[in-house]
């Protein structure tokens, strides 16, 4: 049997009900040198290299209490296993939100979203999850519970483990509780969408957007077969290379002004046809763009992050390397997801190692495998690209948190 | 350090940076004996002024070879003793690394050397439609390298966040002399968020030699208001009401009567001197939405008993208001020969309580305290007025400061929102964090700084190379 990240060779799942119980499990595992695979909602397991060591799955889903929600302070303290959807519903009762997009919100947990640094289209306007974590409690690989940050929105006492643990993928510690900074719910939202004939033109329009009078919340450039016949966006115009979707949020008067203004600016740039998608259509579009990177369980998704000005060049390269590629980019941030409906191991070399990875490096960034089918065997280089120069110091940080190397062994860039 | 080895070290340092890049005479070094925290002082054995990252590497390697402590310094505006050279050693002053290396508007970033003064970047960006958002009140003097070290904030953090939210990457020299890059111009680099760890590490993990910062779009417009209140409680209730209404002002600052008098004397803005508190409230963003927010804020201030709400009528008036706020600390010189400012944070809803406690603490210790602070963030800056030549006053200031910070902790807050722990607040780390928390922090420090020569005795109570408990190592002023 092929051993993969999706089905780690674990003998059982432990679901502690308290952080203390969780710490005891980790301490026991450390003593026995048993590998532990922390898991929240299980929505982000197809990332990284497959697990090779047998061990235990450690679920945080029972740690799902709301510890404190002082709404007037616009902060909340919750345990890590709380689902994003239930968090969203709770915050909505106070007219507040965590403006971070997480796919599969009904199962994804806040701890998982933080551990994987998941973000979506809204990061252009609001920043990513790292910008909202102001306090964190976790258990390190020795079974020691520790915390950093606090419950106030501004705090520089001690090292900022809120940032260090965000995106650390459970390789340093198991997150048990977090305090988040919140924002008010936006009164209104809409999308303005246009089709763009060429990638060169797309870059011109994106560059103009940097100087636009409007304040976008999301700048999404999408390309590939499925986007060309999307029922929400309508069929793409005949000679369309990519579709540009700009999401705006704010007070109703602001959203109305921004949609009009952007259409005006686009007309001046020679884009005669654009459409505004608002009301329920807008909500559906936010959700679709949020889910896209993980939509297909069987395919492979690559995440590239490049200079924003190189996004169109990278997208064009990705389409040239393999025309099946379905692409979504948070173009304002230089983040590009390239999704292949099907992918086989022997495509890894031409498509990844000799294709997207050098294209990403040329565009000022890098490309990693974001989502990989359970039965696909890939090399370290295919998943992570060229060795990161900082991986030595990352490995030494890992050793301090997890001296026995039991937390998600082998899954991370720096912890093989 | 052992005095006999100093001349040899100085010679070697001169060989790296040239004769004009090294100071070793005591009279020259006195400038570097402290930063904005004047209560503890200690001269470095030598101060060195590199111009390149390669020179910083060479200096760090020499410090290791001679086994002397070393630490970076920017403009020395830090308020917590982060630049105090505990144990002497080599001070690496980064003010000659002051180039803005690149400004890229299309990709919304700038690359700067650590000695670039915060406001220089803002000036360089003028007219481009972009700015660098973190704007600490000391921005006319403080360096971006120093901002990175302390994760500086400023009045606009409520909406725009602090330094860490605007740093994409750093180039840094590790304590063993290795040059590394963490992060950079592309977001979400694989592996750990090391820029996020370095920012706010107070120079204890690495010496930053280059910074990639995110640039922020200028807002289309502003509405700047001055809410005048008869009581501190009314003003703080108005803050809660504004935030509770779902408005996120760009800035929400408070000044109490004590500071108003000094500011008015200095800048002649026309503040009402009998007001107990004023709120400086600014909303920014799209013109389309600003009047609506302004009207709502005025309504909420009035509902909370504001005597008056004035609107800055022109750009010039707005600038003067901000000048009054940002230079308020300078105006304190009119009130007393020395001052010590604290940097506690409380949940904003606890502001009325903490301000009452501060009044009480000041009364008991017979120390006059005035307040000017980032109310929207719950980040208080009580300014304790004293004369540093009077040992008894110094003692009472320290006692009062300690009590204020203890109260902040009791409110569920923190002892520092933006100034850092430095040496000043090292004793409070035990109160904020458990032994286990501090142990994990010490382990992380060890992974970067195993010999402990970089910035010893800072930030962590167990941060000495030998693991010994550190307590106010350099205290001298008036003690």
Residues of B in contact with A148 (CB under 8 A): 433, 437, 440-441
Mutation target vs A (from B162, B185, B192; most A CBs, 10 A cutoff): B192
Higher pLDDT, residue A236 or A58: A58
State the fold for domain B336-479. Alpha-Beta Plaits (3.30.70)
Q: Stretch A316-342: mean pLDDT, rounded?
A: 94
The Cα of A73 is separated from the nearest Cα of chain B by a number of Å equal to 6
By residue count, chain A amounts to 416
Query: Beta partners for B339?
Result: B385
- Quick one: three-class SS letters along chain B? CCHHHHHHHHHHHHHHHCHHHEECCHHHHHHHCCCCCCCECCCCCEEECCCCHHHHHHHHHHHHHHCCCEEEECCCCCCCCCCCCCCCCEEEECCCCCCEEEEECCCCEEEECCCCEHHHHHHHHCCCCEECCCCCCCCCCCEHHHHHHHCCCCCCHHHHCCHHHHEEEEEEECCCCCEEEEECCCCCCCCCCHHHHHCCCCCCCCEEEEEEEECEECCCEEEEEEEEECCHHHHHHHHHHHHHCCCCCCEEEEEEHHHHHHHHHHHCCCCCCCCCEEEEEEEEECHHHHHHHHHHHHHHHHHCCEEEEEECCCHHHHHHHHHHHHCHHHHHHHCCCEEEECECECCHHHHHHHHHHHHHHHHHHCCEEEEEEEHHHCECCEEEEECCCCHHHHHHHHHHHHHHHHHHHHCCCECECCCCCCCCCHHHHHHHCCHHHHHHHHHHHHHHCCCCCECCCCCCCCCCCCCCCCCCCCECCCC
In contact, A338 and A325? CB cutoff 8 Å: yes
Using a pLDDT cut of 90, give the percent of chain A over it.
76
Domain boundaries, chain B: 2-93, 100-217, 221-324, 336-479
Looking at residue B111, its pLDDT comes to 98
**Are B434 and A389 an interchain contact pair (Cβ–Cβ within 8 Å)?**
no
Question: What chain B residue is nearest to A394 in terms of C-alpha separation?
Answer: B192
The Cα of B19 is separated from the nearest Cα of chain A by a number of Å equal to 34
**Are B436 and A390 an interchain contact pair (Cβ–Cβ within 8 Å)?**
no
**Are B347 and A399 an interchain contact pair (Cβ–Cβ within 8 Å)?**
no
Confidence of residue A285 (pLDDT cuts 50, 70, 90): very high
Closest CB to A163 among B190, B196, B413: B196
Kindly state the tokens that stand for A11: 């003998």
Question: What chain A residue is nearest to B203 in terms of C-alpha separation?
Answer: A159
Looking at residue B329, its pLDDT comes to 81
The pTM score is: 0.95
DSSP three-state, residue A167: coil
Q: Is the pLDDT of residue A212 over 90?
A: yes
DSSP three-state, residue A332: coil
Question: What chain B residue is nearest to A95 in terms of C-alpha separation?
Answer: B246
| ipTM confidence score | 0.95
Top-tier CATH class for B100-217: alpha beta
Looking at residue B1, its pLDDT comes to 58
B449 touches chain A (CB under 8 A): no
Confidence of residue A237 (pLDDT cuts 50, 70, 90): confident
In contact, B365 and B386? CB cutoff 8 Å: no
B375 touches chain A (CB under 8 A): no
b/e code B352-375 from CB counts within 10 Å (16+ = b): bbbbebbeebbeebebebbbbbbb
CA distances in angstroms from A146 to A19, A242, B118, B421, B447, listed in the order given: 11, 47, 34, 19, 18
Q: Is the pLDDT of residue A261 over 50?
A: yes
CA distances in angstroms from B129 to A40, A211, B57, B305, B391, listed in the order given: 42, 7, 37, 38, 51
Higher pLDDT, residue B407 or A377: B407
Chain centre to alpha carbon of residue B137: 9
B127 touches chain A (CB under 8 A): no
B336-479 has the same fold as B221-324: yes
The Cα of A15 is separated from the nearest Cα of chain B by a number of Å equal to 24
The Cα of B10 is separated from the nearest Cα of chain A by a number of Å equal to 31
Q: Write down the architecture of domain B2-93 according to CATH.
A: 2-Layer Sandwich (3.30)
* pLDDT, tens digit only, all 479 positions of chain B: 567 899 999 999 999 999 999 999 999 999 999 998 888 899 999 999 999 999 999 999 999 999 999 999 999 999 999 999 999 999 999 999 999 999 999 999 999 999 999 999 999 999 999 999 999 989 999 999 999 999 998 888 889 999 999 999 999 999 999 999 999 999 998 899 999 999 999 999 999 999 999 999 999 999 999 999 999 889 999 998 998 898 999 999 999 999 998 889 888 888 899 999 999 999 999 999 999 999 999 999 999 999 999 999 899 999 888 888 888 888 888 889 988 889 999 998 899 899 999 999 999 999 999 999 999 999 999 999 999 889 999 999 999 999 999 999 999 999 999 999 999 999 999 999 999 999 999 999 999 999 999 999 999 986 443 333 334 444 443 33
The Cα of A62 is separated from the nearest Cα of chain B by a number of Å equal to 24
Question: What chain B residue is nearest to A69 in terms of C-alpha separation?
Answer: B347
B310 touches chain A (CB under 8 A): no
Looking at residue A377, its pLDDT comes to 83
Top-tier CATH class for B221-324: alpha beta
**Are B436 and A145 an interchain contact pair (Cβ–Cβ within 8 Å)?**
yes
B419 touches chain A (CB under 8 A): yes
Looking at residue A9, its pLDDT comes to 62
Looking at residue A98, its pLDDT comes to 98
B69 touches chain A (CB under 8 A): no
């Amino acid at each position: 049997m092929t051993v993969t990240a999706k089905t780690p060779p674990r003998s059982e799942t432990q679901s502690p009900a308290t952080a203390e119980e969780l710490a005891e499990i980790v301490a026991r595992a450390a003593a026995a040198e048993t590998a532990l695979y922390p898991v929240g909602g299980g929505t982000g397991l197809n990332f990284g290299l497959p697990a090779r060591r047998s061990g235990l799955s450690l679920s945080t889903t029972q740690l799902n209490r709301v510890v404190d929600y002082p709404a007037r302070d616009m902060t909340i303290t919750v345990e890590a296993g709380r689902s994003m959807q239930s968090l969203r519903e709770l915050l909505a009762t106070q007219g507040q939100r965590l403006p971070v997009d997480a796919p599969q919100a009904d199962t994804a947990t806040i701890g998982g979203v933080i551990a994987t640094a998941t973000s979506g289209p809204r990061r252009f306007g609001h920043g990513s999850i790292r910008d909202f974590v102001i306090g964190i409690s976790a258990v390190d690989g020795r079974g020691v519970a520790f915390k950093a940050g606090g419950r106030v929105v501004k705090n520089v006492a001690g090292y900022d483990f809120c940032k260090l643990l965000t995106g650390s993928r459970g390789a340093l510690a198991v997150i048990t509780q977090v305090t988040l900074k919140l924002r008010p719910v936006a009164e209104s939202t809409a999308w303005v969408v246009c089709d763009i004939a060429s990638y060169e033109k797309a870059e011109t329009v994106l560059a103009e957007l940097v100087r636009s009078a409007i304040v976008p919340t999301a700048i999404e450039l999408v390309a590939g077969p499925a986007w060309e016949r999307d029922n929400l966006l309508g069929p793409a115009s005949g000679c369309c290379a990519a579709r540009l979707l700009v999401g705006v949020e704010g007070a109703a008067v602001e959203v109305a002004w921004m949609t009009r203004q952007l259409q005006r600016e686009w007309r001046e740039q020679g884009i005669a046809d654009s459409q505004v998608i608002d009301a329920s259509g807008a909500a559906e579009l936010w959700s679709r763009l949020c889910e896209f990177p993980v939509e297909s369980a069987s395919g492979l998704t690559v995440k590239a992050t490049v200079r924003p000005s190189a996004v169109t060049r990278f997208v064009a390269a990705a389409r040239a390397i393999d025309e099946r590629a379905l692409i979504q980019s948070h173009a304002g941030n230089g983040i590009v997801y390239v999704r292949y409906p099907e992918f086989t191991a022997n495509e890894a070399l031409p498509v990844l190692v000799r294709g997207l990875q050098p294209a990403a490096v040329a565009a000022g960034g890098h490309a990693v495998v974001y989502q990989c089918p359970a039965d696909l065997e890939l090399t370290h280089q295919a998943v992570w690209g060229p060795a990161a120069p900082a991986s030595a110091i990352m490995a030494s940080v890992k050793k301090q948190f997890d001296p026995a190397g039991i937390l998600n062994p082998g899954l991370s860039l720096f912890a093989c | 350090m052992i005095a006999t080895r100093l001349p040899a070290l100085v010679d070697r340092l001169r060989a790296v940076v040239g004769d004009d890049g090294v100071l070793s005479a005591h009279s020259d070094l006195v400038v570097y004996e402290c930063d904005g925290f004047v209560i503890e002082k200690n001269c470095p054995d030598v101060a060195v002024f590199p111009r390149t990252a390669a020179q910083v590497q060479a200096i760090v390697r020499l410090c290791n070879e001679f086994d002397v402590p070393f630490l970076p310094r920017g403009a020395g505006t830090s308020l917590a003793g982060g630049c105090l050279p505990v144990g002497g050693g080599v001070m690496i002053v980064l003010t000659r690394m002051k180039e803005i290396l690149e400004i890229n508007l299309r990709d919304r970033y700038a690359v700067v050397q650590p000695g670039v003064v915060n406001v220089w970047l803002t000036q360089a960006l003028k007219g481009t439609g972009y700015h660098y958002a973190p704007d600490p009140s000391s921005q006319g003097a403080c360096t971006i390298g120093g901002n990175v070290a302390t994760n500086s904030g400023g009045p606009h953090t409520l909406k725009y966040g602090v330094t860490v939210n605007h740093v994409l990457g750093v180039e840094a020299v590790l304590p063993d002399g290795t040059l590394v890059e963490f992060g950079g111009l592309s977001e979400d680099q694989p592996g750990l968020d090391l820029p996020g760890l370095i920012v706010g590490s107070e120079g204890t993990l690495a010496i930053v030699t280059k910074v990639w910062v995110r640039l922020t779009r200028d807002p289309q417009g502003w509405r700047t208001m001055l809410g005048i209140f008869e009581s501190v409680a009314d003003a703080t209730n108005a803050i809660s009401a504004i935030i509770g209404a779902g408005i996120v002002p760009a800035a929400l600052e408070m000044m109490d009567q004590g500071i108003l008098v000094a500011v008015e004397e200095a800048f002649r803005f026309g503040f009402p001197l009998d007001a107990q508190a004023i709120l400086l409230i600014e909303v920014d963003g799209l013109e389309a939405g600003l009047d609506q927010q302004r009207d709502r804020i005025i309504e909420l201030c009035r509902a909370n008993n504001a005597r008056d709400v004035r609107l800055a009528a022109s750009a010039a008036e707005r600038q003067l208001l901000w000048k009054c706020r940002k230079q308020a600390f300078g105006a304190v010189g009119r009130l007393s020969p020395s001052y010590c400012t604290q940097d506690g944070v409380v949940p904003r809803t606890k502001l009325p309580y903490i301000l009452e406690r501060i009044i009480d603490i000041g009364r008991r210790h017979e120390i006059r305290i005035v307040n000017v602070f980032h109310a929207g963030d719950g980040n208080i800056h009580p300014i304790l007025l004293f004369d540093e030549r009077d040992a008894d006053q110094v003692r009472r200031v320290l006692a009062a400061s300690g009590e204020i910070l203890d109260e902040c902790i009791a409110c569920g807050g923190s002892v520092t929102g933006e100034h850092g722990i430095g040496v000043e607040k090292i004793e409070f780390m035990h109160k904020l964090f458990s032994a286990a928390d501090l142990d994990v922090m010490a382990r992380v420090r060890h992974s970067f700084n195993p010999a402990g020569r970089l910035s010893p005795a800072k930030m962590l109570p167990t941060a000495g190379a030998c693991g010994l408990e550190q307590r106010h190592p350099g205290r001298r002023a008036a003690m």
